[in-house]
Amino acid sequence: MNVASNGLRIPDGFLWGASTAAHQIEGNNLNSDWWQMEHSDGPIAEPSGDAADSYHRWREDMDLLAGLGFTDYRFSIEWARIEPAPGAFSRAEIAHYRRMVEGAVERGLRPMITLHHFTVPRWFAERGGWTVDGAVDLFERYVRATAPIIGTDVRHVCTLNEPNMVAVAGAVRELGAEAPPTAGLPLPDKATTDALIEAHRRARAAVRTISADIQVGWSVANQVYQALPGAEAMAAAYRWPREDVFLEAARDDDWIGVQSYTRTRIAPDGPLPPPDDAERTLTGWEYYPQALGHALRHTAQVVGDVPLIVTENGIATDDDSRRIDYTTGALQQLAAAIEDGLDVRGYLHWSALDNYEWGSYRPTFGLISVVPDTFERIPKPSAVWLGGLSRSRMLPRASS
Ligand code: BGC
C-alpha cells in the first residue's frame, strides 16, 4: 500500500495505544459466567485457562507498551473479581486494579478503564442476567464501588463494551440451539438492549460523580452495513436495532467508542456473506481496512458532535505484514476523516496481546505475541511500527 511521505500530524492530546479485556488476557477468571460456560457442555471449543497471565504480568505488559512508544492503554476491570458474591466487595481486588491504574500513570500511559467487557459474575448470570428485576441496580452498585480504582487520574471510562453484541448474545441464548445465520447478526434481544441502555445511563451518572474531569462513554461494534442498489431501506432497518439504537444512546456522552473490523453488505432480501474472492482473516471476516472510515462517518452522523475515539480496530492474522497493511489502510481512513472535519480523539488498536478470542486462541489479533508455555511476550514488527507512528506523531495519508 502506498503511503505518502507527508503524513497528517496526530492532533495534540490524541489517545494512541492499544486495548485489552480482562477475561481475554488475565487468566483464571474463575468466578465469571464465561469461565462457567467454558467448563460446561456448551459449544465453547477451548477454555481460557491461564490466558496470557496478565493478572500477574500486567507490569510487563505496560512496560512493553510504554517502551514501544504508546501513550494510552485501554484495559478492563473484572466485576467477577471485584464483587465475587452479591454485595461482597473485595478490597484486595480493588487495590489490585488501583495498582494497575497507578502503574500505567507511572509509565506515562494514560489508562482508559472499561467497566464491563462481556463477562459478568457467575452469580449475576445465575440470577437471570441483565433482564431480571434489579439487574441494573446491581451494576450501578458495582460501578460505584469502582470509585477508588478510578480516583482522580483516570480520564476516560468506558461503561460497557459493545452492548450491541451483548444484546445479540442475549438473543442467541433465547433462541437456544438454533444455528446463527451464515451472514449478518441475529436480532438483538430487545429487553437486553433496554437494560443495557439504562445501565449505561446510570453508570455514566455514577462515574461523573467520581471526578469532575472524567470523560464517560461506551463503545459500539460497527458492522459497516453497506446497502447494495435497491437495499437502502433494508440496510437502515437492519442497522437500527443492531447498531444505531446504541449510538443514539450516546448523544449525551463525553465521547463514543468506535470499534470496527470489517463490513457487511446488505442486499434487498438481507445480509450477504463476504464476496467469494475476498481475502479472509483468521476470524473468517473479510479483509476490509476501509471499514474504519465508514464506521467513523456513520457514527458521527448518528451521534452529532460527540467526540469519536477508535477504541478497537485490528485484524486476526498470522502474517504480521498483513497487520501492518491493514492498519495502514485503516489509519489512512482515520486521517481522511480528521481532514474532513470529524472530531476523532484517539486510536486504540485491538489488541495489545495475542489473547483469548472468546472460545479459541487461534485468531491472533495481538501486536505482541505470547508464548503459551512460558508467557514470554514478543513484540511483533507491527508493534514497533505502530509505536513508531506515535513517537513521530504522524498518521499515514493515502497518496492521491
Ligand atoms: C471485542 C473483543 C474481541 C474483538 C475481536 C470485539 O468484538 O470487544 O473482545 O476480541 O472484537 O473479535
Reduced to 3 states (helix: H, G, I; strand: E, B; else coil), residue 161 is: strand
The pTM of this model reads 0.97
Q: What is the pLDDT of residue 129?
A: 97
295, 224 contact by CB (below 8 A)? yes
| Average pLDDT per 10 consecutive residues for the chain, totaling 400 residues | 68 97 98 97 92 98 98 99 98 98 98 98 98 98 98 97 94 62 85 98 98 95 98 97 98 98 97 96 98 98 98 98 98 97 98 97 98 97 98 90
Which CATH superfamily, name and number, covers 3-391? Glycosidases (3.20.20.80)
Ligand 1 centroid to Cα of residue 65, in Å, is: 19
Taking the centre of ligand 1 as the mean of its atom positions, its distance from the CA of residue 282, in whole angstroms, is 13
The binding-site residues of ligand 1, defined as CB within 6 angstroms of any ligand atom, are: 21, 24, 161-162, 165, 221, 259, 312, 350, 357, 365
- Ligand 1 atom closest to the Cα of residue 283 is 12
Report the atom number in ligand 1 closest to the C-alpha of 365.
5
Which string of b and e fits 171-206 if b means at least 16 CB within 10 Å?
A: bbeeeeeeeeeeebbbebbebbbebbbbbbbbbbeb
Mutate to test the pocket of ligand 1, among 115, 162, 350, 354 (most ligand atoms within 8 A of CB): 350
| pLDDT score recorded for residue 400 | 66
- Closest residue by CA, ligand 1 atom 5: 357
pLDDT given for residue 3 in this prediction: 44
Which ligand 1 atom is at minimum distance from the Cα of 162?
Answer: 8
CA 349 to ligand 1 center in whole angstroms: 11
In one-letter notation, the amino acid at residue 140 is: E
**pLDDT in the model for residue 5:** 55
Cα–Cα distance, 161 to 118 (Å, whole number) = 7
